[in-house]
Structure 1
Amino acid sequence: MNRNIAIVVVAYNRASSLNRVLSSLNNGNYLDIDTVDLIISCDFSGEDACSVLAKEFIWEFGNKKVIVHNENLGLRKHILFCGDLVSDYDGLVMLEDDLYVCPNFYNYIYQADTYFKNNKKIAQISLYTNEIEEFSYSRFMPLNQEADNFFMQVPSSWGQYWTKEQWFNFKEAYMSGELEITQSSLLPDWVINHWPESSWKKYFYNYIIKNDLYVVYPYKSLSTNFGDAGTHHKNQHSHNQSVLDYSISNFKFLDIEESKVIYDYNYELHKNLLNQFFEKDSFYDVEFDLNGMKDLSKISTKYLVSSKTCSKPIKTFGCHLLPQELNIKFHNKGDFYSLGLTVNFDPNIQIEKIYNRNLMYIPSITLNKLRNEIKSIYADSNSYKIGKKITSFFNPILGKFKNL
C-alpha cells in the first residue's frame, strides 16, 4: 500500500515566488501514485495576490486545498501550523515559497521515507544540500561515501520532510517548554544570540541536539533557495542557491549505523568518527573545529583540531585539499589547522584567517557580490559585529584581488 505523503507550501506576500515554486511542483514526477495532495497555506498580509494565485492554480496530481489565514501568524507559528497538517497523512513535504524543486524531488522523498521511516535516530529528511556553511560562510563539501545520502545534526528549512511520528515528537517537546534556548544550550553561538524570535528552526535545532537525532541529507540537492526578500532578509540574495540534481531516479541510501559521514551541529565531522584520521596516533579523544566557529567552553574532548590559534600545537596542517577533512587525513603540510590540547587554543574566532581560506574557493568574479550580500544580511545587527568585520575585511581584499 502506498504511503500517503502530502505537500504543503508555506506562503506569505510573495506572489511571484509562490508562482515559481508551484510551477516547479507541476513539473514533478509523482510516480504512479493516484493522489498527491497539495496544501497551500497563505499567511495574512493585507494583500490577496497570493491567495488569488493559490486558488487559481491548477493541480492535476491529486486534491488541492488552499488555507487563507485571517490574521498574521508570523513565520514560526505558520510553520508550526503547517507541520500539524501531517496529522491527516503518513508524511509531509514542506516548502517555503522562495524555494524551487527539481522533478525527482517526490521520488527521492518517497524512497527515503520507505528506507528511514522506522529509524528512531532520524528527525527529518532534507531535500536541500548546503554548499555554504551558514555560520562562517565557508564552502561546505561533505566527505564521500558509497551512497546518495549523509547525515547532519543541522536542521533543514529549505525543502524538508517529516513523518507524522517525527513531527509530533518534536511538537510535543516544543509545547512542553523543554526546548527553550539559553546561553548554555549546545547550539552554535550564532543560533543562540542572533536567530530571531520568528525562527522555528532554532527550536528544532535544539530538539535534534538534545535528543541526539540526525537529518538525512542528499549529496545532490533536490531543492534550492532563491533567497527572495522576506521575513528574515530585506533584500534578495543568491548565496544559498544549490546545484539541482536531475540525474538520479533510483537512490541508494545508507543507514546512520553504517555511515562514516555524519556531521555535528556546527557542520563539523562528528567526533565519534575521528579515529579514522588518527589510526597511527593516540589522539582519539578529539573534536574538529575546522571552521573555527565552536564555543570552546562547550567542547569536552581533551584534544582539538581547529583553525583557531593554538599556543602549543602538536601538529599543523594545510588547508588546500577539499573536503577540508582530507588535509588532516593525509597530513597535508601547512600551518592553517592545528592539533593540540583544547586548553591551548585561543577562543576567539579568526575571521581574517577563515576568509583568506575562503578566497581560495570563491571565484573572484563573485567576491564583490558576496560582500554586498553579507552587508545586506547584517546591516541591522547591533549586537553581533562579525558581519561588519567581514565587510570591512573585504574592502582591501577586493582592491588586492580585483585584477585576478
Structure 2
Amino acid sequence: MHAAAHMMDPTRKLFRTTATRFIAIPVFSGLILGLTGCGSDGSTEAAVPTTTVTEQAEPTVTAAEDAPAEADSPTTALADAFQQVLAAPATHPVNSAAEYSPTGTYSYAIVEATSDSSPEMLLRVNSREFSPVLVFTSGDTPDELVRSTDVLIQGAAGVGGSRAQLVASQSGAGIHQIDHHSLRPTGRSTLYSLQGTSLRQSSAPVEFTLETPLPDHQDIIWYESTDLQGIEALRTGSTPSVAAPTPVPPVMDTSAHQFTGRVTEQSTSEVMKGQPTPNGEPETNRYLVLVLDQPMEVTAQTAGRDTRTRTISEVSLGERTAAGPENEWSQHIGQQVTVGADPHQIRYPTDTGLPLGMLRLQGYNSLTVN
C-alpha cells in the first residue's frame, strides 16, 4: 500500500464562501473487512472473514446553511463539516453485505492520518463484536468531505478470542490496525493509509509484543457521536485527539462458567457406560470428552430454549471422525485444561446423538492448558 499520492494544501481545500456554505459528501457503499484468519504460528483462529463489496456510488449528499461574510479558518470549516456528519451519522451507512450487527450508536475520533496537517475523522458504527470504522477527510472543493469506500475494524469476537484494535500513527502516516488473540502475548500491526477514497495497506504487517507498543503507535480518544468535545477541541486546538501509547490490556476471562478437567478420547461403549446405543453407533466411533476434576451444577438451555439444571461430571467436546475435519480438541487429548464459556456457548441436547444427554460445549472464550 502506498501513501496518498497527492497531499493538498489545507488552506486550498477548505474556505468559507461569502453567501452560503455547502458541505458536499459523496456517499460510497464499498466495504472491505480485513481481519486475521491465522496466527503467526500457523494455527487457525476465529475471525471475521474478509468481505469485499463494490456498489455504484450513490448521489452526492449536500447540506447547506447560512454563513457569515467573514472568512473562517480551514480548521473551523473542517470542524463544521465533521459536525454535520455527526448530526446524522445514519445517512452514511456501511453496506448491508457487511458481517456486523449495529447497536444503533456511533462513536468518532479526530486524528491526523494523511500527513497534511488537516485532521481526519473516524466514524465507528458501534456493533456487537466487530465494528466497522469509516474515514472522512477533506476534499478539493469548499467544505467538501470525502468518505472512504473501505472500512477498518475494531472489536472482539464473542467466540475464539480474536481481537482488533485501532491506534493512530504518531507520524500522521495513517491508521494502525492491530490484530491479535486474547490468549497470546503478541499481535500484528498493519498500517493503512488513504489513497483516494481507498484504505490501502502501506507497509508489511509487523509482529510485536502487546505490552510494548511500536514507536509509531498512539492511542485514539473516542467520543460518543452526541459528545462534541472532540469537535470543539479541533476548533480550539486545546485538547489532543490522541493519547500517549499504552500497552494493550490483557483480556480477563469473565465467563459465567469455568470447566476444569482432562481432555479424553472415548469409544462408543465408553460414553454409553456399557449401555446399548440409541442409534446403533459403531464401536469405532471416537468422542472427545472433558472429564471434570469434580462434579459441578450447571444451568443451561436446550435446543428448544428450555432451561435445565443438572450436576455434571463430563462435558462433550464433539466427535472425532476420520472422514470429517479434525476436531480442534484432538491436540489436547490427555492434557489438563480450564475452559471459560458463557451461557450461550453451552447447551443440553434433546436429541439422541452421542454422548447421550451430555452437556455440549459449542464455543468458548478462553482456554488454558494447566
TM-score (norm 1): 0.25
Structure ranking higher in strand proportion = 2
Greater Rg over alpha carbons, structure: 2
TM-score (norm 2): 0.26
